[in-house]
Structure 1
Amino acid sequence: MSLVEVEIRERRAQARGLQRALEALRADLVRRSEATLEGWDGLIIRPEFLPSARNLADYLALRRGDLVPFQAPLASLGLSSLGRAESHVRPSLDAVLASLAMIGGEGTAEYPTVEMFAAGPARLAARRDTLFGARRDAPRSRVMVTLPSEAATDPALVSKLLASGADCIRINCAHDSPDAWAAMIGHVRHAAVRMGRRVPVQMDLEGPKLRVEALSTGKDESPRLFEGDRFEVVEKFTKDPGLLQIRLSHPALIEAMAEGGALWINDGKLRAKIIGVPQGRVLAEVVSTPSKGARIKLEKGVNLPGVDLRVPALTGADLENLDFILGHADILGFSFVQTGADLRALFTELDRRSDGGTSRDWPALMLKIETPMALRNLPALIVEAGGRVPMGVMIARGDLAVEIGFERLSEIQEEVLWLCEAAEVPVVWATQVLEGMVKDGQASRAEMTDAAMSQRAECVMLNKGPHLVEAVAFLRDVLMRMDRHTNKKSPRLGALGLWHDL
């Protein structure tokens, strides 16, 4: 027997072994997926979301195990290693099994149709266009812009943002007033009609305030603090305190603090360790600041990394703003959503305001993922929300990074992108995108890389700042360039023009 014949026999044996292993994996996938779907029974009211939920269940089942051992053997046979199966899990697996049957000499198997591979990405693209606007000359990823307060009185600014490449607009209800929001939306609608475009508007509920509410100094900021300095978190200020005291905006924060826990302020610029919890107050010691120290300032955010805060997502202010949002917004941004109970509370409030209408009359829903609890519950949140209304997911990378640890953010945002692609749900890549350019007119190299990586999401959000118009145009250019090279996780392998002359 020649060496070639030996090689062929070995390859066939390898293919048959892989086929057996993948057949067992597929059988387990089907069993687990069906059990997951049964658990979601009753949550999916919109029949158009059922294929998405089924593919999500398949993906969750597929990723329960370790697929690493399959990667190199499949690639050595010229087959898909299942690394890009998110939007078509079963067809990807079945196509590999069909090829393995042929290579292994086990007969022929039926390949999935091309349409089965195309259906998921087509649904995702259509949902992206519904949520964020459809433009022929736009990059695959849409650009969302958060309007500053001056947009209420400066219609020219809104026009410039749309002309520079903004596809959709975001209004943060934590700022300004209904009169200002109405003016902003009016300017957006007027400019969109003039340009012959549809420009969706997202309005974000404020959610619970987890912030510094007051300082015992009576000032807007504390003296500069350094490692080893101590301060107290109190329910009520005491007379002549020996240490700086701060009061927080939500009682759940101080209730959740425990000795040995972490307390981070202002996105982790000041990090403290809780060293004592006497009655009605918390003693904290600073463990990390920038080299020049840090001040505790009013209205800065407070986080307790590693602690699940059982705080309802809807606040009294949110309920007051819902009527306005229902009458004006295309998308409702749901801040601090963590559980199915949060979703059901929102649905109840929307039902009350619908005047006999149905959920089809509601705005689309944007789930803002900001906490570890929301991450753990994300598949169920997607199914319960997508089963009722068109929806998307926003990766709120600022709060999320503080809550899960900065070192985990890159990993987690990748996993959220994969999960949402499997669920055929559009994703917004948010927080600090091109922040240097927006604020100072020049982006750092790291920010440019982050902007390029954001192309894998269906939408990228820019926050407000004095150079916002220029940043919109810059981001749009980066996204268009990246579209030549990648589509989600898949390289497109266009020609590399830089080295054509070689």
Structure 2
Amino acid sequence: MAPDQLTSIKDQIGNLIKIVHDQEQDNTELLAEVCFPYLGSAKNLLHYGTVRNYDLREIQTKLKELGLSRLANAEGNILESLINTHNLLKFLTNENGEFVQNGELEIGKGKRKLEEHAEALFSNGGKNRRVRIMVTMPTEASTDYEMVLEMVKNGMDCARINCAHDSPEVWKKIVENLRKASEACNANVKIAMDLAGPKIRTGALGEGPKVKKFRPKRNDEGVVESPAAIVLVPEDKQSRGPDEIPVPSQWIELVQLGDKFVVQDARGKTRKLVVTQVAENTVLLQCRKTIYLKTGMQLVSKRVSLPNAVLGEISPKEKAIEVHVGDTLIVKGHDSIGSLPKFDEKGNLVNPGSIACQPPSLVEKVKEGAPILFDDGKVEGVIERVHDDSFEVRIVKARQGGTQLKAEKGINFPTLDLGFSGLTAKDKEDLKFIARYVDIVSFSFVNTESDVEELLEALNDLEVLDKIGVILKIETRFAYKNLMKILLKAMKTKPIGVMIARGDLALEVGWENMGKVQEEILSICSAAHVPVVWATQVLEGLAKKGLPSRSEITDVTSSLRAECVMLNKGLYINEAISLLDKTLESMEELHSKKEGLWPKMDNL
């Protein structure tokens, strides 16, 4: 490389070092708020943020050509890495003068700090792997101790309880089983609880018809292999299965094996039924044709001595609005029951479907032209008109043939800051339980540093600040844009971590940007020496269906850039924990942190 090129690279890095020092001086007051164990990390995060204001890819390429470090893995010690590189370039250009030393965060110390912070948040547990395993607890964990014990034995390091589900009574039983299992296995399993956070969801659509469909099993040629099975139970039975139909208790005692009935089903079709099994408080009927049973329908007995019976209350079907590309959907701001679209005799739309939104006040914050997503992105739309108490959405994405939009489905506004963040009234109440019983609080839908300040104040009021860990869930576009400020504010306490909540985050930033955003969050957290939880749909197929996909296995390999991997609950969760434990342990022999190139950071 020509001497003038070497000098140019040296001068550029030297100038960058000066800018980094100046920026640190400009943020003296901010650094004064950081607790001492995070002071070096906070400074390094500021240094990294300053460096990422510039496009370094050309410099990195030239450093690689010289056989020098291209700074690709230098997030944890950014200033010291720049100074070392600058010293080497001075040597190569025969510049006189002593080598400069930073003396605060030498090479390698950033990695050790990250390990210390991960240890403080999650503990280690004596495992032969660096990456921890977090597992979401199902409701059954409150009553099934053996299942919880198996989780701990298979390698669970941290248990997650979601405050959006169950109750404090159930949570307490889960905590007790976890503590008991942890002690039995001589393990230090940490317990984290997710605050539910603000919920932006679709409102009620009302009850559908109280009808239940039963159909026989047919082979490929349409021949009935087994009749439709209908179970009748006493109407005073406390809890019923999904396929059980209530009838009067006195009547069910009179039914005999072989009794036959005729029914006019919900469509007016005549159907024949026969009793094939009678047990205590249970009667099994069979029908060789598809039948729709409805509340209030009469079973007409063929036996004279057996009176007819009237079917009791059948659970109503859940209503849904079927939306197609090009449809208009009215979203209401007042808490009312939604309505299905209405069509004339020729199939022309007369009135579009409508659905309420929760909370209703978000109608005041939406803007025309903004995108809107429903039900984890299954339905996409654009806000076309905003009225005083509603807005109109034009559907731009739905499944071919239509998508069913139901109540209680999530709504996302990727480009709008709706101001719904911070602690809800429920969160503040749940914090009292968290402060008393668990080790970590996970903060959902954090968007700004003021949200973090609110949480820290609440923890301080409960006298658990610095006694309980904090995980910041990054699941919105604004959380990503404000991540550095959020981390610096969170460093007022310890220990802290970050969860990359990939499900909601992908909707917010766009699928095409998710890979880049994920990498940037990992790099920012590495610069802050803050451990990361890799979350959402890890080994989802295995946990729920018993068989992982190939992409799930490669996703686990990618998760080695994090310090913890989260599994969601499922019927085969223990198989998922065991496989993840073995995979992480074997892959850590081949992988450490991953190198990257640094263009100027894009905040989307």
Q: TM-score if structure 1 supplies the norm length?
A: 0.90
Q: Indicate the residue corresponding to 1:32 in structure 2.
A: 23
Q: CA–CA distance in 2 between the matches of 1:448 and 1:54? A: 37
Find 1:456's aligned residue among 552, 561, 566. 561
Paired letter, 2:422:
A
Task: Give the gaps of 5 or more residues in structure 2.
Answer: 209-316, 341-350, 597-604
Per-residue CA distance 1:27-53 (angstroms, 9 max, x = gap): 122112332x32514421x21110000
Paired letter, 1:384:
K
Q: CA–CA distance in 1 between the matches of 2:581 and 2:319? A: 38
Q: CA–CA distance in 1 between the matches of 2:595 and 2:130? A: 14
Q: Indicate the residue corresponding to 1:4 in structure 2.
A: none
More deviation in 192-201 or 20-29? 20-29
Q: How is 1:96-135 mapped onto 2 (pairs within 5 angstroms)?
A: 96-107=85-96, 109-110=98-99, 116-135=106-125
Q: How is 1:128-277 mapped onto 2 (pairs within 5 angstroms)?
A: 128-215=118-205, 220-234=318-332, 235-237=334-336, 242-277=351-386
Find 1:323's aligned residue among 432, 440, 449. 432
Paired letter, 1:230:
T
SS in 2 for 1:342: helix
Per-residue CA distance 1:181-218 (angstroms, 9 max, x = gap): 11111111111111111110000111011112312566
After TM superposition, give the deviation of residue 453 of structure 1 in Å.
0.5
Q: Is the 8 A contact 1:333 1:365 kept in 2?
A: yes
Cα 1:92–1:283 change in 2 (3 A) is same
1:86 pairs with 2:86 = no
SS in 2 for 1:49: helix
Q: CA–CA distance in 2 between the matches of 1:395 and 1:56? A: 18
Q: Is the 8 A contact 2:205 2:320 kept in 1?
A: yes
More deviation in 77-86 or 133-142? 133-142
Per-residue CA distance 1:464-490 (angstroms, 9 max, x = gap): 111111111222222223212221125
1:425 pairs with 2:416 = no
Q: Is the 8 A contact 1:215 1:244 kept in 2?
A: no
Q: Indicate the residue corresponding to 2:503 in structure 1.
A: 398
Q: Indicate the residue corresponding to 1:359 in structure 2.
A: 465
Paired letter, 2:44:
N
Across the two proteins, how many residue pairs are aligned to each other? Answer: 476
SS in 2 for 1:84: coil
Q: Indicate the residue corresponding to 1:60 in structure 2.
A: 49
Q: CA–CA distance in 1 between the matches of 2:577 and 2:61? A: 41
Q: Indicate the residue corresponding to 1:435 in structure 2.
A: 540
Q: TM-score if structure 2 supplies the norm length?
A: 0.75
Q: CA–CA distance in 2 between the matches of 1:439 and 1:252? A: 37
After TM superposition, give the deviation of residue 400 of structure 1 in Å.
0.9
Which structure has the highest strand share of the two?
2
More deviation in 168-177 or 126-135? 126-135
Q: CA–CA distance in 2 between the matches of 1:490 and 1:114? A: 24
Q: CA–CA distance in 1 between the matches of 2:29 and 2:551? A: 42
After TM superposition, give the deviation of residue 238 of structure 1 in Å.
7.6
Q: Indicate the residue corresponding to 1:303 in structure 2.
A: 412
Q: CA–CA distance in 2 between the matches of 1:20 and 1:349? A: 48
Q: CA–CA distance in 1 between the matches of 2:33 and 2:364? A: 34
Paired letter, 1:97:
H
After TM superposition, give the deviation of residue 389 of structure 1 in Å.
2.7
Paired letter, 1:24:
N
Q: How is 1:361-400 mapped onto 2 (pairs within 5 angstroms)?
A: 361=467, 363-400=468-505
Q: CA–CA distance in 2 between the matches of 1:378 and 1:240? A: 40
Q: CA–CA distance in 2 between the matches of 1:114 and 1:233? A: 56
After TM superposition, give the deviation of residue 12 of structure 1 in Å.
4.6
Q: CA–CA distance in 2 between the matches of 1:133 and 1:239? A: 49
Per-residue CA distance 1:369-408 (angstroms, 9 max, x = gap): 1111111211111111122231111111111111111111
Q: Is the 8 A contact 2:320 2:404 kept in 1?
A: yes
Which structure has the highest helix share of the two?
1
Task: Give the gaps of 5 or more residues in structure 1.
Answer: 1-9, 492-502
Which stretches of structure 1, 4 residues or longer, exceed 4 Å deviation after superposition? 10-13, 111-115, 216-219, 238-241
Q: CA–CA distance in 1 between the matches of 2:339 and 2:448? A: 42
1:338 pairs with 2:338 = no
Q: Is the 8 A contact 2:205 2:339 kept in 1?
A: no
Instruction: Kindly name which structure, 1 or 2, has the bigger radius of gyration based on alpha carbons.
Output: 2
SS in 1 for 2:106: helix
Q: Indicate the residue corresponding to 1:43 in structure 2.
A: 33
Find 1:18's aligned residue among 4, 9, 29. 9
Q: CA–CA distance in 1 between the matches of 2:175 and 2:335? A: 41
Per-residue CA distance 1:104-134 (angstroms, 9 max, x = gap): 2224643758981122111111111221220
Per-residue CA distance 1:317-354 (angstroms, 9 max, x = gap): 11111111000110001111112221222223223222
* RMSD across aligned positions (CA): 2.1
Q: Indicate the residue corresponding to 2:398 in structure 1.
A: 289
Q: Indicate the residue corresponding to 1:6 in structure 2.
A: none
Identity, in percent, stands at 37
1:447 pairs with 2:447 = no
Q: CA–CA distance in 1 between the matches of 2:402 and 2:573? A: 30
Q: CA–CA distance in 2 between the matches of 1:197 and 1:443? A: 28
SS in 2 for 1:387: coil
Paired letter, 1:270:
V
More deviation in 287-296 or 482-491? 482-491
Q: CA–CA distance in 2 between the matches of 1:425 and 1:240? A: 48
